[in-house]
Structure 1
Amino acid sequence: MRKAFISPAKYVQGEDELLNLGYFVSTFGKKALLIAHPDDISRVKEKLDQTAAKFSISLIPSNFQGEVSGREVARLKKVAAENECDCVVGLGGGKAIDAAKCVAEGQRLIVVPTIVATDAPTSHCAVLYTEDGLFDRYVYFVQNPSVVLIDTVIIANAPTRFLVSGMGDALSTYFEARAVRNAYANVDAGLACGAQDGSCPPAKGTNAAFALASYCYETLLEDGVKAKEASDNNVVTPALENIIEANSLLSGLGFESGGLAAIHAIHDGLSVLPSARSATHGEKVSFCTICQLVLENAPTEELREVLDFSLSVGLPVCLADIGIEEITEAELTAAATKACAKEEPIEAMPFPITIEQVKAAIVVADRLGAAHKASK
């Protein structure tokens, strides 16, 4: 059996860690293309100036405006070439990081998240969009980022909603890895050769990946509420540090080397509904975790544990919580049809799933979540 595990070459998190960015740039050379939205740069400009001066490196501005289209990636590559940049730094949220991945193409990439709302920063894949901001395709690169650098002070001062959203994304990691493991399905780590044509041999998840996914869930249950309180008060505590690691490293390695299943497929299905578009990725994933548990007919105790945790940190447990006050039969069918599409990871579940079963799971998860919320 072929197994695969992939990860960033280096992961570092700590208070004021951004001040060490210049050191990591200097391991590649003297110039780095800085891909970041102007608002994110302004938030951390003092630290960027300090690290550039301390390590005698230059951060070349890219004027990134927020969309990861083919045209924008080509423009950024041109800026990097014209300035003879030695590496690429992606600083900010998901769009800036994905743009940096596309420019670097798996080489000499430093990722600096300013929020931990998803587990994508550690991964070797990115999402490309059209000029109009519509989803285009996923792209995979030869390897994961060279460095993932997280300044916990910056995360503590970001809106708490992003931290909680990251917990929603991380909540799915164990349950999807468990389903994939039971199904002996393939994982994204098998695409680590960077091939876009399907020529890279598939691979199963490792025991290490499943252990990380399991520990991710345990960490959420233990430290989630305490970390939210720290974020609400803009302070760094051990609990916040643990949740930052869970949201980014544990969940990132867990999903990529442990696998995705029905949760992210149903997320993609619900995302086609306009009313759900105000919810973040992690908020929708949180509700979809309940949907997968319904599909699996998970033990009542486990379902209650997930619902209790979600409510304790403010994650969605029903459709209304993600902006869907009412759902028509046509909308339900559209969401379930998308979730069951061939390209979706629902195929990694350990048993066949039909469109009707997904529709039923969404309805039941909504009712169970709403009832549990009302009882508290």
Structure 2
Amino acid sequence: MSDKITEHLFQGSLRYVQGTSAFRNAPKYLSVLGKAPLVICDSETFTTAGREFIATLERAGFEVGYAEFVEGNPIKEIDRLATLARDYRVEFIIGLGASEALDCAKVIAQTHHLPLASIPTTAATDAPCSAVSYAPNGPFDHYSFSTKNPNVLLVDTSIIAKSPARYLASEIGDAIAIHLEAQSSRRNASPWKGLTAEVVSAIGDKCQETLFKYGKLAYEANKAHAVTPAFEAVVEANTLLSRLSFESGGVAAAHSIHNGLSVIPALHGLLHGEKVAFGVVVQLVLLNAPPSELDKYITFLLSVDLPVTFELLGIPNVSDEDLRAVSKLACSRGETIWTMDIGNSITEDKVFHAIKGADAAGREHIRRTNRPKTKL
């Protein structure tokens, strides 16, 4: 049997539900998984959404167990909650809340071979729809690839609209990167070790089109906690379309730069997509993208208050030594930067200079357009 990858792959979810009444109608969509779920969420999410969500299920005849996810030590939490899931003898797992709780639920469902429903309460990540978990504490540690996607992804846009607009912008930054990354890695394998199917490019094109067309409108709507058609379209692009493109097409330099930036303690408070957004500019510089393309992306990222310079990241005086450390981690063995079609020509030094070039491009754009600086 040859190790050469020749198959084209598309990795998809089973059921995606989005709308302003998704919470209220959850029993209808979750009953196919069983009637005895374990809901995993943090205490804040339980207060703002979880208590009412569980009550909705119980009114529909579900026997619901609840386990509080405590942030800070995800490995310890996974072990603790996996034991709870076994003791409860549940029929399926529900992850409710933000990315860490959803990732934890994903791992527990896989551990016990149980169905999984992911229910995000912010638009800050496409993690709820994917089969990938991410270990985010401190410097980047690793990705964990699950054997399957969630069986049900339920997105209530009335809940999402109540979360800070910064979360939506962060996921826009992540989503805008993914098609760009997939396009630069077409000759290499996705995370599932398959070549990119043609449908993935079409999905990625639609995702990009939606974000460029409606991203700014959705961001402003979110600030007003308004669920508009533009907001609905961008939530779908962020959560579903970007995930289908990412998981079937893979990621590249932008996400490696995100991982590299994790070596700088001052950036640990930034959201995932905020660092990926800067990585988008770095990847474009690394690819020697035409000035018009670079300008297009920088203009868009700034329109939703995403960082394109060191100053906007919050590290205006970052040292070359720190940037060398960023490039070293971004180019470490197994990083996604090596999946790019130009992977054989990439070096740590080239990445270091691309990082500095991205900052220079962002500063020049802001100077030329007289755009006010919006720090995170």
User: Normalising by structure 2, what TM-score?
Assistant: 0.92
Distance in 2 (alpha carbons) for counterparts of 1:129 and 1:326: 24
Amino acid in structure 2 at the alignment position of 1:348: T
Return the offset for 1:216: 1.0
- Residue 99 (str. 1) matches residue 118 (str. 2): no
- The yes-or-no answer on 1:366 pairing with 2:359 is yes
Q: CA deviation at 1:160?
A: 0.5
Structure 2 Cα separation of the partners of residues 20 and 135 of structure 1: 38
Instruction: Determine helix, strand or coil for the equivalent of 1:71.
Output: helix
Residue 173 of structure 2 corresponds to 168
Aligned counterpart in structure 1 of residue 311 of structure 2, from 304, 320, 323: 320
Residue 328 of structure 2, aligned match among 314, 319, 337: 337
- What CA deviation, in whole Å up to 9, does each residue of 1:288-346 have, x standing for no partner? 10111011111111111101111111111111111211121211111111111111111
Structure 1, unmatched stretches of 5+, are 191-201
Paired position in structure 2 for 1:177: 182
Is 1:241 equivalent to 2:243 in the alignment?
Answer: no
CA distance in 2, matches of 1:138, 1:68: 16
Structure 2 distance, partners of 1:364, 1:57, is 55
Q: For 1:207-250, what per-residue CA distance to the aligned partner results, in whole angstroms no more than 9, with x for missing partners?
A: 11121112111111100111011101111010000100111111
Query: Partners of 1:233 and 1:180 in 2: how far apart?
Result: 38
Q: Which runs of 4+ in 1 moved over 4 A?
A: 133-136
Q: CA deviation at 1:186?
A: 0.6
Residue aligning to 2:25? 20
CA RMSD of aligned residues (A): 1.7
Q: Does residue 262 of the first structure (1) align with residue 253 of the second (2)? A: yes
- Among candidates 118, 124, 128, match of residue 125 of structure 2: 118
On the 8 A contact 2:139/2:262 being kept in 1, the answer is no
1:354 — aligned with what?
347
- 1:270 deviates by 1.3
Q: Distance in 1 between matches of 2:242 and 2:155?
A: 15
Check 1:45–1:332 CA distance in 2 against 1; reply closer, same or farther (3 A cut): closer
1:23 CA drift (Å): 2.7
Secondary structure of 1:62 counterpart: strand
> In 2, are the aligned partners of 1:19 and 1:50 still within 8 Å (CA)?
no
Cα distance, 1:129 vs structure 2: 6.9
* Paired residues, number: 360
Distance 1:12 1:99 in 2: 21
Q: Give the drift of 1:135.
A: 5.4
Structure 2 CA distance, aligned partners of 1:339 and 1:147? 33
After TM superposition, list the pairs within 5 Å mapping 1:58-97 onto structure 2.
58-67=63-72, 69-97=74-102
SS of the residue corresponding to residue 17 of structure 1 reads coil
Secondary structure at 1:18 match in 2: coil
Q: Could you say what secondary structure the match of 2:163 adopts?
A: coil
Cα pair 2:30 2:152 within 8 Å, conserved: no
Partner of 1:109: 116
- Percent of pairs with identical residues: 37
Q: TM-score, normalised by structure 1?
A: 0.92
Q: Amino acid of the residue matched to residue 171 of structure 2? A: G
Unaligned runs of 5+ in 2: 1-5, 370-376
Aligned to 1:208: 199
